[in-house]
Amino acid sequence: MGQSKSLASADVVLWVNGAILGIATGGSYVKNTQIRRSRAIDSLKTYELVPTEVSCSGRFQVVRLHGTGGLEGQGVTAFPDETLLQRYATLTLIDRRNDQIVDQFEQCMFSVVQWHVINRQLVQGTFQFEGIGWNNESST
C-alpha cells in the first residue's frame, strides 16, 4: 500500500530560526496581497489591478518539547523588560516524513504567546504571528 499524498498536521513540525519549536496540533495562516484598482480620470472602468502590499499572519497550536525554552528560548520574543529588543524570526513548517518545507514565513514577529498546562496532558502552546514575506516547497 502506498504512502498517502495528503499532509496531516501530525506530520508538521514548526521550526523558528532553524531550531525546532514543537509539533503542530492545529492552526491557520493567511498569505495576503493587497490589490488596488487603477482607473483613469473620468472613467468608471478598472484598467489594471495593482498589487500594493504583501503580508502574512497566522495562529498555530504546538506541543511543547523538552528543552526548547518556548519562543523566548529561540530568542525571538523578549521578556517584558526587553520588549523593544524583539527580533524578526523565520517560521518554517516542515513535513517530518520527508524533511521538506511546507511553508516558510519570513520577518515575523509574535504578538500573542499562550501556554496550556493541564494535569496529565501534554503542554500545548498557541501563538500568533505577523510577517512580511513567505515561500514554500515550490520556491525553495
What are the structural domains of the chain?
Answer: 9-136 (2.30.110)
Residue 116: other Cβ atoms inside 10 A: 12
**Which among 99, 107, 95 has a CA at the least distance from the CA of 134?**
107
Tens digits of residue pLDDT in 18-70: 888 888 888 999 999 999 999 888 888 999 999 999 999 999 998 888 777 77
Helices (H) and strands (E) in the chain, counts: 1, 7
- Give DSSP secondary structure letters for 43-60: --SEEEEEEEEEEEEEEE
Assign 7 a pLDDT band (cuts: 50, 70, 90): low
Tens digits of residue pLDDT in 79-96: 788 888 788 999 999 988
Taking CA 18 as the corner, what is the angle to CA 91 and CA 64, rounded to the nearest 5 degrees?
70
In this structure, the chain runs to a length of: 140
Single pTM value for the model: 0.80
* Type and span of the H or E element at 116: strand 100-116
Q: Position of cell 524533511?
A: 99
Q: Where are the beta strands (DSSP E) in the chain?
A: 12-16, 19-39, 46-64, 89-95, 100-116, 124-131, 133-136
CA distances from 95 to 14, 100, 134 (A): 9, 5, 17
